[in-house]
């Protein structure tokens, strides 16, 4: 059972608001990831981190930003939300040379 | 290019039958593959993985087959149950590349189990 937590689970906000999606893991994993997923569709990597103070952009361009100040915490921020940001955001973590990623339950974001 | 895809978007099976979900990948350098199950409202959950030095691996009621010649892998679920209803994703990685840990996901197959 993976110990990775995302909050909030659901978020409905208006255009222009700043939001932060939280992700925490208690497994001590060095690598963490953020994916964007439309319902039933494939996962697109938007950010990843190899460790503290390390962040990289993923394969899908995103207006969001991330930070990794602590090993266990990898928040994602949108400075000004737009309807095009409406999607599900999944956080994951893995250890070592790679392989299995463990996922949180996701945050379903709706921007009106 | 790098892409992982599944042949069928939806698979409908009778409860108790065996299910076979297929996935094709295009990067011949990929050496590690994972199957995930995603239930409605949840994040993907690890099912089983396989490295490229193997062609078959079995778990509890699941078997993954890898055919490197045609760049194809499949997930077989024995005696499919209603709780198996979900979207199934294959993902690939290149562990030998010095590794970022990044996975490339396919498009997913929705498995519907009819009672």
Owner of token pair 């992982």:
B4
Is B107 close to A99, i.e. CB distance below 8 A?
Answer: no
Q: A92 to chain B: which residues are within 8 Å by CB?
A: 43
Tens of pLDDT, residues A51-71 = 999 999 988 888 899 999 999
pLDDT band (50, 70, 90) for residue A108:
very high
- Per-residue pLDDT for A98 more than 70? no
Tell me if B41 and A41 make a contact (CB, 8 A cut-off).
no
Q: Which domain holds residue A91?
A: 4-111
The CATH number that applies at residue A8 is 2.60.40.10
The pLDDT of B59-80, averaged and rounded, is: 96
Angle (CA) B83 B87 B88, round 5°: 100
What local confidence, expressed as pLDDT, does residue B27 receive?
85
Whether residue A75 contacts residue A67, with contact meaning beta carbons closer than 8 Å, is answered with: yes
Question: What residues in B contact A40, CB-CB < 8 Å?
Answer: 87, 108, 110
d(CA A59, CA A39): 19
Are A99 and B41 inside 8 Å of each other by CB? no
Tally of domains in chain A: 1
CA distance B69 to B93: 17
Query: Which residues of A are less than 8 Å from B36 in CB distance?
Result: 103
Minimal Cβ distance to A100: which of B34, B89, B99: B34
User: What are A11-48's pLDDT values in tens digits?
Assistant: 999 999 999 999 999 999 999 999 999 988 889 999 99
| Buried-exposed string B56-91: b where 16+ CB fall within 10 A, e elsewhere | eeeeeebbbbbeeeebebbbbbeebeeebbbbbbbb
CATH number of B4-96+103-114: 2.60.40.10
């Amino acid at each position: 059972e993976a110990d990775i937590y995302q909050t909030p689970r659901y978020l409905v906000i208006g255009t222009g608001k700043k939001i932060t999606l939280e992700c925490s893991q208690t497994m001590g994993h060095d690598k963490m990831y953020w994916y964007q997923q439309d319902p039933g569709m494939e996962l697109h990597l938007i950010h990843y981190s190899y460790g503290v103070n390390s962040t990289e952009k993923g394969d899908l361009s995103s207006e969001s930003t991330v930070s990794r100040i602590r090993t266990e915490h990898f928040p994602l921020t949108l400075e000004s939300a737009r309807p095009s940001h409406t999607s599900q955001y999944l956080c994951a973590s893995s250890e070592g040379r790679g392989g299995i990623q463990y996922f949180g339950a996701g945050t379903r974001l709706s921007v009106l | 290019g790098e892409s992982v895809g599944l042949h069928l978007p939806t698979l409908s099976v009778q409860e108790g039958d065996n299910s076979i979900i297929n996935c094709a990948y295009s990067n011949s350098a990929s050496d590690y593959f994972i199957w995930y199950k995603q239930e409605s409202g949840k994040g993907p959950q690890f099912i089983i993985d396989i490295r490229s030095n193997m062609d078959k691996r079995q778990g509890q009621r699941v078997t993954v087959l890898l055919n490197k010649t045609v760049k194809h892998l499949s997930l077989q679920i024995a005696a499919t149950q209603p709780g198996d209803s979900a979207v199934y994703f294959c993902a690939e990685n290149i562990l030998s590349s010095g590794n970022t840990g990044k996975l490339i996901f396919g498009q997913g197959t929705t498995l519907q189990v009819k009672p």
